[in-house]
Structure 1
Amino acid sequence: MAKVVELGKACTVNPLKMSQPLGASYAAMGLDACMPVMHGSQGCTSFGLVLLARHFKEAIPLQTTAMNEVTTILGGFENVETALLNICKRAAPKIIVLCSTGLTEANGEDVAGHLAMVRKRKPELSNTELVYVSTPDYVGAFEDGYRRAIVAIVKALVKPLPTVQRQVNVLPGSHLSPSDIDELREIIEAFRLVPIILPDVSGSLDGHIAPDWRGTTLGGTSLDQIRAAGASTFTIGVGEQTRDGAQALETIAGIPFEIFERLTGLEPNDRLLHRLARLSDREVPIKYRRQRSQLLDAMLDSHFYIGGIKVALGAEPDLLLAIGSLLHEIGAELPVCVSTTTSASHALLPTSEVVLGDLEDMERGAGDCDLLITHSHGRQMAARLGKPLLRTGFPVFDRVGNAHRCQVGYRGTMNFVFEVANLLIDRVTHHRPADWALPQSSLDLAAPVANAE
């Protein structure tokens, strides 16, 4: 069990974590015809918007209540009302997810009361579902905001319904890319099960050219699908961050659940396929048996390069566990693990210590490591240390195709193993003919022997 250490630094030097409101907004972007709104200043929203746009290289729908100095002191009810009315008039979303920020949380606003008053005063909002998520950005991290958003959406919109056989709920963690979710959906549908994925960014942030522009999210989990989640027979969660959402579904609709701490690796995918086989009463499809064999071969081929290396990791808890556990299984050591927030995932990580800190803390411990793994803000650290950097997590803004990177399932795990191994192969020193030449002093010593013969 890893020991969790909080350093209690006076300031963050090179940030690793992203904020709760941003995590909640990201979850909202997995809902169809949705508009995420940050209840705070324009700067808070602009910063998050830039990060999302640079990571996905897509237009991002994200609005703000535009709080200023006066409304922060006197209260932001009018800002909330005006924002909601303008959004409904211009974009006509089916769902608005309102996320608080540190500004409004410190002010102590009763946002839930604001929304209730707006509902009574403005009947034109009756066709739009309003979901409020409390996400103060002075505590927690991206993963916490995402987790809170799932719980808030479930509690606001899901009701118990008669059970629909073969329908299952899937709660993906924030560390899963759109391509990861597509892969997971394909696996579940191969067992003739019908998944309701909540939230589903594979429909809205998968990098497609949309036929129209509505000003809201274009794709994702529809409002009807969210409501239908109360009729599912089972819930599958990916990552510890989904546990609260799965428990909320169980409380509301009596739906049993299982949380898979990760789906990057051999053993957790074995467990997933066995669970799906029991739920569907079907055998595991032959193609996944083949993919499993391919993954084993990939791990065998790659362990010559990965085995024995030292890796420094910096990531959100569930991503840290997924990547770190796989590398450990192939023989890597994890002397430096830095994360953003407390989580039960840390106890499962095969290392002695997890530091809750920033990239400065990661850099201080990574001098003897062979590989760095974190998001794009680690590029300066990698340059200073002269170490290879594998970019992963959020944000990755100096690479394209982030929506299409798959790291779950047998196939996604194999992709990740090859990515790591190939990065390390590039660092292997190749000998040249001159490296094998004997030094001149050796030739001089050998000469008398030759003359004597």
Structure 2
Amino acid sequence: MARVVESKKACAVNPLKMSQPLGACLAFMGLDACMPVMHGSQGCTSFGLVLLVRHFKEAIPLQTTAMNEVTSILGGYDNIEAALLNIRQRAAPKIVAICSTGLTETKGDDVAGYIATVRKRKPELDDTEIIYVSTPDYVGGFEDGYKHALTAIVQALVQPLPPRANQVTLLPGSHLSPADIDELREIIESFGLTAVVLPDLSGSLDGHIAPDWRGTTLGGSTLDDIRAAGASALTLGVGEQTREAAQALQARTGAPFEIFARLTGLEDNDRLLLRLAQLSGRPVPAKYRRQRSQLLDAMLDGHFYTGGIKVAIAAEPDLLLAVGGLLHDMGAELRCCVSTTPSPAHALLPAEQVLLGDLEDFEAGAADCDLLLTHAHGRQAAARLQKPLLRIGFPVFDRIGNAHRVQVGYRGSMALIFEIANLMIEQIPHHQPGDWPLSPTAQRAAQTATGCEATGASAGCASCSDTPASAGLEQSALTEASA
């Protein structure tokens, strides 16, 4: 169990965490024909909009109630009423999802009361579902906002229905990409089960070219899909952030739930497939037996380059556990772990300590590490430290294809192992094709024992000459990497 320590600095330097309203908006992006709205100033919405556009490289529908100095003091009812009427007239969404910001939370706006009043005054809004979630951005983080939005969706739209034995509700965490959701849906459906995904970013932010532009989200969980979740025989949540919504579903429909803290790696995917086999009464498809065997081979191949390396990770709690857990399985040491907000996921992380801090804390802790993992705002720290950086999480705005990156299931875990191992191979000094590449741990061991400028070999080695490395050095590298 990792010990959680909170940074006591007076301010954040190069912040790691994103705000609650932004996380809530991401959840609402997974609902079809939805218009997310931030109840706050225009700047709050503009900043979040820019991050979402740069990460997904897509047009993002996001509106604001445009609070100013006067309405911030007198109250935002008129702004909410005007926003709801304008949005309905111009975009005709089926769902309007409102999340608060620090500005309106500090004022104390009774948004739920405002919505009830608007409903009475404006019957033309009767055909529009309105969801509200409280997400002050001065507490919590991105993952918390997503969690609260997911719970609000369940409480507002899901009703109990006669159960269907072959239907499963999937609650994906905010750390899953659209491609991850597609992968999990395919796994569930391969057992003959029907998957209701809530919310479904794979339908709205998967990078497809839409046939039309409505001004709202183009794809995702429809109202019928959301309501159908009331008939599921089982709820599967991916990440501790989904537990609250799964409990809300159980309270409303009676459906049992199971939370998978991570689905990156071997053991948790084994447990998922066995649970689906038990529910469906079918054996695990041969396709996934084959993929499991491929993952085992990938772990064997990759551990030569990850065994013993020191890693620094800065990420939201569930992503930190998913990637950090896989690296620990591959023999890496989680030397520096920085996260954004308290979470039960931290208790499952195989590390000594998790620091709730910022990217300055991350840079200080990563000085003696071999590999850095965080989002794109960590690129300056990696450049200053001259360390390799693997971009994970949100936002990643200096790479394309984020929506299509798979890191769950056997196949996604294997892809992540290859990505990490290949990044480490690039760091091997004087590496030539055909050489026996040593992991950083093996290099340090060789340098300690001998005196070669590259690997420490006393005789000629593959890094410094055409003479092959001695059998003893190769055996030492194998032994060290395996350990």
Instruction: Give the shorter-chain TM-score range.
Output: over 0.9
1:367, 1:143 → 2: CA distance?
27
Give, in angstroms, the shift of residue 434 of structure 1: 9.7
Tell me if structure 1 keeps the 8 A contact 2:66–2:79: yes
Q: Which whole-Å deviations, capped at 9, do the CAs of 1:83-126 have from their partners, x for residues lacking one?
A: 01000000000001100000000111110000000000011111
Report the Cα distance in structure 1 between the residues aligned to 2:20 and 2:33, rounded to whole angstroms: 22
- The letter for the 2-side match of 1:214 is R
Residue 75 of structure 2 contacts residue 109 of structure 2 at CA under 8 Å; is this kept in 1? Answer: yes
Map of 2:442 onto structure 1: none
The percentage of aligned residue pairs carrying the same residue is: 74
Partners of 1:416 and 1:436 in 2: CA distance: 33
- Structure 2 CA distance for partners of 1:337 and 1:434, relative to 1, 3 Å: closer
Structure 2 distance, partners of 1:306, 1:437, is 26
User: Residue in 1 aligned with 2:184?
Assistant: 184
Q: Distance in 1 between matches of 2:465 and 2:235?
A: 62
Residues 431 and 404 from structure 1, CA distance in 2 versus in 1: closer, same or farther, beyond 3 angstroms? closer
> What does residue range 276-355 of structure 1 map to in structure 2 within 5 Å?
276-355=276-355
| Amino acid in structure 1 at the alignment position of 2:303 | H
Shift of 1:329: 0.5
Q: In the alignment, does 2:54 pair up with 1:54? A: yes
8 Å Cα contact 2:158-2:227 kept in structure 1: yes
Instruction: Specify the alignment match of 1:442 in structure 2.
Output: none
Q: Hey, what's the Cα distance between the residues in 1 that align with 2:376 and 2:43? A: 22
Asked if 1:423 corresponds to 2:452, the answer is no
CA offset at residue 437 of structure 1? 9.5
Q: Which amino acid aligns with 1:404?
A: H
Separation in 1 of the partners of 2:244 and 2:9? 30
- 2:197 alignment partner AA: I
The alignment status of 1:374 with 2:374, answered yes or no, reads yes
Structure-1 residue corresponding to 2:4: 4
Q: Secondary structure at the match of 1:251?
A: helix
1: distance between equivalents of 2:12 and 2:58?
29
Following superposition of structure 1 onto structure 2, how do residues 150-299 of structure 1 map, counting pairs within 5 Å?
A: 150-299=150-299
Following superposition, the deviation at residue 150 of structure 1 comes to: 0.6
Task: State the AA in 2 paired with 1:358.
Answer: D
* CA deviation string 1:18-52 (max 9, x = no partner): 00000000000000000000000000000000000
Equivalent residue for 1:139? 139
Q: Could you tell me how far apart the structure 1 residues matched to 2:373 and 2:124 are?
A: 49
SS at structure 2 position matched to 1:203: helix
Output the amino acid matched with 2:350: P
- TM-score under structure 1 length normalisation: 0.96
* 1:86 equivalent in alignment to 2:91: no
* 1:42 alignment partner AA: Q
In the TM superposition, what is the alpha-carbon distance from 1:296 to its structure 2 partner?
A: 0.3
| Cα distance in 2, alignment partners of residues 58 and 179 from structure 1 | 15
Deviations 1:260-293 (A, max 9, x none): 0000000000000000001101000001000000
Match of 1:443 in 2: none
User: How many angstroms apart in 1 are the aligned matches of 2:3 and 2:13?
Assistant: 23
Distance 1:279 1:434, change over 3 A: closer
Partner SS for 2:103:
helix
Which residue of structure 2 aligns with residue 435 of structure 1? 464
Aligned-residue offset at 1:431: 5.6
TM, length-normalised to structure 2: 0.90
Give the number of equivalent residue pairs. 438
For residue 398 of structure 1, give the secondary structure of its aligned residue in structure 2. coil
The within-5 A match list for 1:92-111 is 92-111=92-111
Letter in 2 for 1:232: S
User: Within 2, Cα distance between the matches of 1:110 and 1:128?
Assistant: 20
Residue 65 of structure 1 corresponds to 65
Alignment-derived partner of residue 456 in structure 2: none
2:422 is paired with a residue whose SS is helix
Contact 2:262 2:268 in 1 (8 A): yes
Q: Work out whether 1:115 is the aligned partner of 2:144.
A: no
Q: Distance in 1 between matches of 2:76 and 2:303?
A: 57
Q: 1:434 to 1:139 in 2, by over 3 A?
A: closer
CA distance in 2, matches of 1:267, 1:248: 27
Please name the residue that 1:26 is paired with.
Answer: 26
CA distance in structure 2 between the aligned counterparts of 1:371 and 1:300, rounded to whole angstroms: 19
Deviations 1:164-196 (A, max 9, x none): 220110000000000000000000000000000
Q: Secondary structure at the match of 1:166?
A: strand
- Identify unmatched segments of 5+ residues in structure 1: 439-453
2: CA distance, partners of 1:434 / 1:394: 38
CA distance in 1, matches of 2:431, 2:227: 63
Residue-by-residue CA offset, 1:368-399 (whole Å, 9 max, x unaligned)? 00000000000000000000000010000000
User: In 2 relative to 1, CA 305–69 (structure 1 residues): closer, same or farther, beyond 3 Å?
Assistant: same
What is the alpha-carbon distance in structure 2 between the residues aligned to residue 436 and residue 90 of structure 1? 71
For residues 255 and 17 of structure 1, the distance between their equivalents in structure 2, rounded to whole angstroms, comes to: 33
- The amino acid that maps onto 2:251 is T
Question: Following the alignment from structure 1 to structure 2, what is the Cα–Cα distance between the partners of residues 232 and 331?
Answer: 39
Quote the Cα distance in structure 1 between the aligned partners of 2:466 and 2:308: 30
In structure 2, the gaps of 5 or more residues are 433-461, 468-483
SS in 1 for 2:4: strand
Residues 352, 434 of structure 1: alpha-carbon distance in 2 compared, 3 angstrom cutoff: closer
Partner-residue secondary structure (3-state), 2:196:
strand
